[in-house]
């Protein structure tokens, strides 16, 4: 039986099955006695086969490594009781539900991979149910705050210095494209394309989270203007779009520092909000829904794997439901709407008649 078939069978059973195929017992292959080889093979599988991002795979690995250190056992000896004990300790230590849920997902995935390769006989994560998912209340920036963050006090003027213009263009692109902090760094100059018909730039995202393939993300005219101004002064020689002072692509930490610096310069207060570059992603999703975009289109633009993630932003705009109820209540008069439609059709027919 091939490894791919073994993995497929394991996934069908939810990873909660024994090794009944007569595969080599745990520890029978020399390299599987070293947890480092096991974790290397598993994380490579997550990235190359499952399509997980490198950051996600490394996060899962760190969670498993902490579990193994807490249990004091290798992967081949890890049991379900060890995982449950570790989860209880995390809870007592005050770690959030997202961390504990990540441990369950990581261990279950590792167990599936180890089962398919005959490393273990029972998945230690099979049948484990993590804590229910918890989502913090989304508190985005206002449109006025985003405008100040990108343009400053003079929306019609842009800075001329390379570094400052780079920072403005970076935040503008991150906002309108809904990028995560790790996503603008890998963008190359060749990944930027000018759409002549629409009169805007668009970006090619190659290594984006939850994107199973390459995705073209369009920008709007305002952000295209900022990006065009930056491209005009961007130093040549580097293949990356957003370049550091050393000619290297911007790291996640560098993006975080740029955001904090611009937020301080623009005078944007936290007011109970968690200030990080990710708030730009929260903000664009909220603003698009507030402008009338349907939730399915927003899901595609934000590259959400599940529409449930997009639904969170419906609650961020507290006045949305009230506005929709006042505008189109099911008990409201429908005749007025038909009259308006009829009047518009009559005006259109009148204009067409005047053209003949």
Give a yes or no: residue 136 inside a domain: no
Residues 169 and 309 placed together within one structural domain of the fold: yes
Residues 153 and 91 placed together within one structural domain of the fold: no
Give a yes or no: residue 88 inside a domain: yes
- Whether the predicted model's global pTM rises above the 0.85 cut: no
**pLDDT tens for each residue of the chain, 356 residues long:** 344 444 444 444 444 444 433 334 444 445 567 889 999 999 999 988 887 878 889 999 999 999 999 999 999 999 999 999 999 999 888 887 878 889 999 999 999 999 999 898 899 988 887 665 555 677 899 999 999 999 887 776 788 888 999 999 999 999 999 999 989 999 999 999 999 988 999 999 876 555 556 888 999 999 999 999 999 999 888 899 999 888 889 999 999 999 999 999 999 999 889 899 999 999 999 999 988 899 999 999 998 888 888 888 876 565 666 666 677 777 766 654 444 444 454 554 454 444 44
Give a yes or no: residue 300 inside a domain: yes
Specify burial of residue 280 (Cβ count, 10 A radius: 0-12, 13-18, 19+). Answer: buried
Give a yes or no: residue 166 inside a domain: yes
Residues 93 and 40 placed together within one structural domain of the fold: yes
CA distance readout (Å), 140 to 128, 148, 167, 232, 269: 34, 14, 20, 31, 12
CB 124 within 8 A of CB 83: yes
Tokens standing for 348? Answer: 């259109």
b/e per residue 314-332 (b: at least 16 CB within 10 A): bebbeebeeeeeeeeeeee
Q: Domains in the chain: how many in total?
A: 2
Give a yes or no: residue 62 inside a domain: yes
Residues 51 and 182 placed together within one structural domain of the fold: no
Q: What is the DSSP letter of 242?
A: S
Give a yes or no: residue 342 inside a domain: no
Query: Which residue, among 199, 204, 228, 201, has the nearest Cα to 216 in the 3D structure?
Result: 204
Q: How far from chain centre, in Å, is Cα 244?
A: 23
Give a yes or no: residue 354 inside a domain: no
Query: Which residue, among 14, 7, 273, 18, has the nearest Cα to 117 in the 3D structure?
Result: 7
How many Å apart are CA 272 and CA 298, to the nearest integer? 26
CATH of the domain at 248: 1.10.443.10
Give a yes or no: residue 340 inside a domain: no
Residues 29 and 160 placed together within one structural domain of the fold: no
Q: Domain limits at 274?
A: 143-314
Residues 91 and 153 placed together within one structural domain of the fold: no
Residues 150 and 225 placed together within one structural domain of the fold: yes
């Amino acid at each position: 039986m091939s490894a791919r078939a073994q993995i497929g069978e394991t996934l069908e059973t939810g990873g909660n099955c024994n090794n009944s195929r007569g595969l080599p017992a745990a520890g029978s292959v020399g390299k599987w006695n070293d947890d480092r080889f096991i974790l290397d093979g598993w994380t490579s599988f997550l990235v190359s086969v499952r399509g997980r991002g490198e950051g996600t795979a490394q996060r899962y690995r760190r969670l498993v490594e902490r579990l193994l250190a807490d249990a004091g056992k290798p992967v081949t000896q890890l049991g379900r009781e060890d995982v449950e004990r570790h989860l209880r300790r995390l809870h007592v230590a005050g770690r959030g539900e997202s961390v504990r849920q990540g441990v369950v997902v990581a261990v279950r995935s590792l167990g599936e991979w180890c089962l398919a390769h005959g490393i273990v006989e029972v998945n230690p994560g099979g049948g484990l149910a993590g804590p229910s998912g918890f989502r913090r209340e989304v508190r985005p920036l206002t449109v006025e705050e985003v405008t100040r963050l990108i343009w400053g006090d003079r929306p019609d003027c842009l800075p001329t210095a390379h570094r400052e213009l780079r920072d403005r263009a970076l935040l503008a692109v991150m906002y309108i494209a809904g990028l995560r902090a790790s996503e603008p760094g890998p963008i190359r100059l060749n990944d930027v394309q000018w759409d002549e018909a629409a009169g805007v730039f668009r970006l090619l995202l190659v290594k984006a989270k939850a994107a199973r393939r390459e995705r073209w993300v369009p920008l709007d005219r305002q952000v295209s203007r900022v990006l065009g101004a930056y491209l005009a002064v961007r130093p040549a020689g580097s293949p990356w779009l957003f370049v550091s002072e050393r000619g290297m692509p911007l790291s996640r930490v560098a993006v975080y520092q740029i955001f904090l610096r611009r937020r301080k310069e623009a005078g944007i207060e936290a007011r109970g909000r968690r200030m990080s570059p990710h708030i730009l992603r929260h903000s664009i999703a909220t603003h698009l829904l507030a402008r009338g975009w349907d939730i399915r289109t927003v899901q595609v633009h934000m590259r959400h794997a599940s529409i449930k993630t997009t639904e969170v932003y419906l609650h961020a705009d507290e006045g949305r439901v009230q506005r929709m109820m006042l505008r189109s209540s099911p008990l409201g008069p429908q005749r007025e709407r038909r009259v308006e439609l009829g009047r518009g059709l009559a005006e259109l027919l009148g204009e067409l008649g005047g053209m003949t």
